[in-house]
């Protein structure tokens, strides 16, 4: 049967979905179908569409960049200047990549590099104050990531509009509490209530931060899955990987801060 739509008609004829040669025997048709089913799955290079392999590969590239730069910053102990440069550079590039309509892989890679510079430096400071804390934070971060991924893939957690609204509301509340705690810590209100303190909001914010960052991974997984289902261009896999790295960096910092607060009470 030939489609009245010329585009579909041409596509179906080329792919063999709608056109069937009347002279083809049943055995030949069966062999053609078997060959089709046994063919390898179409990759992004063949379809131009984003796949889960693309997202995993891009995430691995960004994570490797972050770790390599972070390890160098840790080893060289570059100091406060490197920390400020990493934080400011990472924030600027995060804003640019988040609001840019065009995906720019070099800027996304640069973001991972700046974040590696910041994380490597700040991790060195934490490890001097609390020996072994970085390895603990890394294990905690990976455990949280794996746990959330398993929960999402098992179907126990579903992303709904209500779930998303509740999560965004919790994030706003967290940010407000963080600002209040920071101001209180700088002004000495409430007996030295501080953002990094054990008393008051410090511990509550640390626990809430770890929880929020972990749950935000669910939104990242959902966006990746929806993007693949919608047939987004292969280039969008860089944006998906960028989102995952942003959340992982946030989660690591929150876990690091929580452990430092708990260990400061030893």
Q: Which residue shows structure tokens 């600002």?
A: 179
pTM of the model: 0.75
Return d(Cα 124, Cα 128) in angstroms, integer. Answer: 6
Most confident range (mean pLDDT) of 15-19, 54-58, 163-167 is 54-58
Q: What is the pLDDT of residues 119-154, one digit of tens each?
A: 999 999 999 999 999 999 999 999 999 988 888 888
Contact at 8 Å (CB) between 66 and 115? yes
Mean pLDDT estimate for the chain: 78
Tokens of 142: 């990976």
Contact at 8 Å (CB) between 181 and 202? yes
**pLDDT attached to residue 156:** 77
Asked if pLDDT for residue 202 goes beyond 50, the answer is yes
Return d(Cα 59, Cα 242) in angstroms, integer. Answer: 7
Of 28-42, 122-136, 185-199, 210-224, least confident by mean pLDDT is 185-199
Rounded average pLDDT over 224-245: 91
Q: What is the sign of the dihedral through the CA atoms of 250, 266, 189 and 83?
A: negative
């Amino acid at each position: 049967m030939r489609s009245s739509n010329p585009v579909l008609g041409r596509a179906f004829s080329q792919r063999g979905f709608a056109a069937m040669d009347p002279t083809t025997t049943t055995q030949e048709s069966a062999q053609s179908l078997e060959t089709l089913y046994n063919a390898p799955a179409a990759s992004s290079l063949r379809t131009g569409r984003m796949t889960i392999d693309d997202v995993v590969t891009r995430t691995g590239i960004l994570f490797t960049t972050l770790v390599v730069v972070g390890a160098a910053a840790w080893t060289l102990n570059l100091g406060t200047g490197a920390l400020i440069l990493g934080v400011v550079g990472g924030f600027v590039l995060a804003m640019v990549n988040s609001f840019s309509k065009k995906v720019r892989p070099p800027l996304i890679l640069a973001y991972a590099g700046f974040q590696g510079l910041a994380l490597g430096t700040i991790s060195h400071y934490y490890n001097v104050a609390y020996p072994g804390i970085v390895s603990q934070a890394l294990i905690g971060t990976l455990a949280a990531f794996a746990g959330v991924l398993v929960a999402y893939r098992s179907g126990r957690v579903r992303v709904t509009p209500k779930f998303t609204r509740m999560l965004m509301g919790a994030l706003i509340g967290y940010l407000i509490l963080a600002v209040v705690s920071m101001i209180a810590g700088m002004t000495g209100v409430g007996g030295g209530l501080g953002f990094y303190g054990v008393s008051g909001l410090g511990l509550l914010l640390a626990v809430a931060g770890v929880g929020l960052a972990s749950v935000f991974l669910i939104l990242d997984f959902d966006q990746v899955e929806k993007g693949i289902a919608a047939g987004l261009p292969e280039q969008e896999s860089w944006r998906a990987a960028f989102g995952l790295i942003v959340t992982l960096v946030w989660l690591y910092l929150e876990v690091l801060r929580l452990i430092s607060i708990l260990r400061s009470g030893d």
